[in-house]
Structure 1
């Protein structure tokens, strides 16, 4: 399974041009991906730089054979009643069985500007890996208080999913919303975390968890691991932010990560960053899994 994750800056390149087509072309240049996770996808914000259109609709037209799942972290209406949405998107050509959109914590921090954040989770079937939860997110940039709360919430979501996999709800085969759901400890968490690997929250996402007593005998520790050191154990992360655009600082840094559950760590074959594209202010990241 090949997955590309990219903070697109509402598909606005460093030349100021907004182009969903260029984003898709850039992702395809990295790999013939099975899953594409995009952050900062906009709809209805016509006054933003570059005047983005209905980007979920544009991306759907550009990705025939893929199913698209857009999760709006922000959904609001302007003074004239026009709908505005901003969030994350997962596109995949693999079979999908469940989609969930989780709002992340937004504790008050009056010292900075901020916006709501969320995590979209798509449970899909990979021929190589089996059932996998693909999670994509974009954490708060300006508030470290909010960012840490959001990182902790992501870990909690993974723990809960592992608990459900170990002790699923009683089945109700009645074609209702109570019908059985796919539960798995296999998970990929990717996106723009707005932190460097040295940030304590980066370590908190990967912290081991102790299973509670459950009917299935408890949950083995299936914590998240940063996939980059698995593929490059002797090399620091390639930068994904501030490589070309120095608006937010002069020193390039890795802000975009892919975390994998312990169950998938042995299956990581490749993790790469496109260090050349200028189609966004972030660089895309590719992860490839094998048998």
Structure 2
């Protein structure tokens, strides 16, 4: 059984406003023993303590390979030396054969806050065979930008599927053939609601035979509403009802292998909840 967890850890900040990366690790330990962890909103230089959370996650998860994708890379404020980084990590128990970092569209929109966004794509050598894992964190404030990012994810999935079917010529060094696996999982914080135009567009079929994305929640729990992943422990008087922003999607060729989807509703490591997908894929 292959277990993937996705979680927006919000730089280790819990609903009470305190930053504590050790609490994040403790929450994960209680949740499950995972093969793959996709975490969004990892920072270096942005929290009050300024710690390098990319390095700390590698240190606190021995036996795993941690691959980062930096979305924001800027100078430290106030003329201080050094840089600050913000992005995501994918942490794998299994060998990572290739890592690709894709910038996502960021069309200008006057008067709307925004930030650069990325998709981190890995091909991992899992016990059941090679898998392509894509971790994302889409735009929050702008539906226009978010929809453009969804379109780019569809383009990347089509391209990767074509690469997977196209034999590469032999080469050396950077030209050596590297895999982009056909079976794929797409995970992260999408900042979209179930059934929204962005959600529907992501699931839309392709015209060229590319395997469409399927929502793992629908596969594992057909007919049931998505469990909320945000706001479960927000007790502020003006807080809205809990809702769903976090998903895992599987390429249609994996649909029959999605065995279980579960939200870790009890923990309060961040305002998001961790989401687990279990896949019948090897040992």
**Conservation of the 8 A alpha-carbon contact between 1:271 and 1:285:** yes
**Conservation of the 8 A alpha-carbon contact between 2:189 and 2:247:** yes
The aligned counterpart of 1:181 is 178
Q: Select the structure that is richer in helix.
A: 2
Shift of 1:249: 4.5
Distance 2:133 2:106 in 1: 22
User: Could you say what secondary structure the match of 2:11 adopts?
Assistant: coil
Q: Deviations over 1:121-149 (max 9, x none)?
A: 11101112x11111111111011111110
Within 5 Å, give how 1:33-182 maps onto structure 2.
Answer: 33-47=34-48, 51-78=49-76, 79-128=79-128, 130-172=129-171, 174=172, 176-182=173-179
**Conservation of the 8 A alpha-carbon contact between 2:11 and 2:47:** no
User: Could you say what secondary structure the match of 1:2 adopts?
Assistant: strand
Q: Deviations over 1:148-182 (max 9, x none)?
A: 1011111111110001112233222x2x1111111
Distance 1:58 1:187 in 2: 28
Moved beyond 6 Å, runs of 4+: none
Distance 1:249 1:46 in 2: 24
The aligned counterpart of 1:215 is none
Number of aligned residue pairs: 277
The aligned counterpart of 2:248 is 258
Answering whether residue 230 of structure 2 is matched by residue 229 of structure 1, we say no
Shift of 1:46: 4.1
**Structure 2: gaps (5+ residues):** none
Distance 1:68 1:119 in 2: 15
Answering whether residue 280 of structure 2 is matched by residue 286 of structure 1, we say no
**Conservation of the 8 A alpha-carbon contact between 1:6 and 1:282:** yes
Shift of 1:15: 2.3
User: Could you say what secondary structure the match of 2:10 adopts?
Assistant: coil
Taking structure 2 as the reference length, the TM-score comes to 0.94
Q: Deviations over 1:212-270 (max 9, x none)?
A: xxxxxxxx331111100101002100000122226785121110000010111111111
Shift of 1:286: 0.3
User: Could you say what secondary structure the match of 1:263 adopts?
Assistant: helix
Within 5 Å, give how 1:202-281 maps onto structure 2.
Answer: 202-211=199-208, 220-245=209-234, 249-281=239-271
**Conservation of the 8 A alpha-carbon contact between 1:168 and 1:183:** no
Shift of 1:198: 1.9
Shift of 1:52: 4.7
Taking structure 1 as the reference length, the TM-score comes to 0.91
Q: Deviations over 1:83-125 (max 9, x none)?
A: 1100010001101100011110000011211100001111101
**Structure 1: gaps (5+ residues):** 212-219
